[in-house]
Each structure stands twice: as structure tokens, then as C-alpha cells.
Amino acid sequence: MSHPTTRQARTTARRLRRAEALLLEAERALHDLPDHHCPRDLLERIRIHNAARTPALPKGDTPA
């Protein structure tokens, strides 16, 4: 198995940061919905994921 290039690692890190930002935004948006419109199971899963996640790599860092 080949190791990712620096460019691939940066792209992956950027995508992970974007995905984490989208999940945080989704949590806020779902929380703001009226109770009868909020998919509670989805909101709960997003909250669990957000609480358990490790911070994204700082911009410019690459995974080891």
C-alpha cells in the first residue's frame, strides 16, 4: 500500500475539516427546527459524533 502524497494528505485534511464544519452547521440547523420538524434520531447521532470527534488537523498539517 502506498503512502499518500503531501498533496493528497492536504486534500484529505481539508475535506475532513469541511465535513466537520458541515456536521456542526447541521447540528445547529436541526436544533433550531420546531420539534415536529426535527429528525430527532439524526440530530442525536450528529451530536454523538460531534462530541466524540477529535479536532481536525490545523491548516497546513498533514496526517502522520
pLDDT in tens, 18-64: 999 999 999 999 999 999 999 999 999 999 999 987 665 566 665 55
**Amino acid letter at 46?**
I
Which of the four pLDDT bands, split at 50, 70 and 90, describes residue 5?
A: confident
Q: Does residue 44 form part of some domain? A: yes
In a domain, 58, yes or no: no
With vertex at residue 9, the alpha carbon angle to CA 46 and CA 5, rounded to the nearest 5 degrees, is: 155
The whole domain housing 16 covers: 6-52
In which band, very low, low, confident or very high, does the pLDDT at 17 lie, cut at 50, 70 and 90?
very high
In a domain, 61, yes or no: no
63 within a domain of the structure (yes/no): no
Q: Does the pLDDT value for residue 2 go beyond 80?
A: no
Whether the CB-CB separation of 29 and 39 falls below 8 Å is answered with: no
Give residue 53's pLDDT. Answer: 77
Q: How many domains are there within the chain?
A: 1
Query: Mean pLDDT, to the nearest integer, of 7-28?
Result: 94
Residue 59: inside a domain: no
Residue 62 lies inside a defined structural domain of this protein? no
